[in-house]
Amino acid sequence: MINIVLFGKPGAGKGTQAEFLKEKYNLTHLSTGDIFRYNIKNNTELGQLAKSYMDQGDLVPDAVTIQMLQSEVDQNPDSAGFLFDGFPRTIAQAEALDAFLTTKGQSITATVALEANDEILVQRLLERGKTSGRPDDQDEEKIRNRYQEYNEKTAPLMDFYKAQGKFHAVDGIGAIAEITERLSAVIDSL
């Protein structure tokens, strides 16, 4: 069983690459952003709670996110492994994930980061905002706020996973297929 954390700043291409990797390695793809958006679309209690944070580009509170993620993992008991996309995003989430997986006799195999320059990413998100309909993609101030959230709360996870010897980074700039190859090379070497 392999459990991979796909790591990277907003717009780095995690969702795009996850679509390829989940097929190639037979992994269950869990994107917290997608799950929140699904709940917002269906106007669930969870969606109503998450919406105000997401629309501003703030992180949804840890307690809510952690509980949701655990329930998604529990709904896939026969999974051959998970591809976590957009989770963990804080040290508290990473610690909770480790503790939760331990209770199942499992662990994170590796974290693979997609690296890219902020200015390129902001432009990508503004482009995506023209068609995605996502309120958090349409306003440069909200996008900048997501980067601030990333720098303050998510970037420290690199050291968290480095300390466990589990952090790998690949260049996230290039053709989609090339980047899939780079990620696959890391996963194949695990």
Cite the active site residues.
Answer: 14, 89, 128, 134, 146
Count the Cβ atoms, other than its own, within 10 Å of residue 47: 17
* By CB under 6 A, residue 129 contacts ligand ADP: no
Out of 7, 82, 87, 147, the only residue in the binding site for ligand ADP (CB under 6 A) is 87
Q: What is the DSSP string of 150-163?
A: IIIIITHHHHHHHH
Shortest reach from residue 118's CB to ligand ADP, in Å: 13
Q: Which helix (H) or strand (E) element contains residue 177?
A: helix 176-188
* By CB under 6 A, residue 179 contacts ligand ADP: no
Tokens of 188: 């194949």
* By CB under 6 A, residue 157 contacts ligand ADP: no
* By CB under 6 A, residue 13 contacts ligand ADP: no
CA 50, CA 33: separation in Å to the nearest integer?
10
CA 186, CA 121: separation in Å to the nearest integer?
23
* By CB under 6 A, residue 84 contacts ligand ADP: no
Give yes or no for a cis peptide into 10 (omega within 30° of 0). no
Residue 37 identity? R
* By CB under 6 A, residue 53 contacts ligand ADP: yes
Out of 4, 6, 7, 11, the only residue in the binding site for ligand ADP (CB under 6 A) is 11
* By CB under 6 A, residue 86 contacts ligand ADP: yes
Interacting residues with ligand ADP (CB under 6 A): 10-11, 32-33, 36, 53-54, 57-60, 65, 86-87, 89, 93, 136, 146
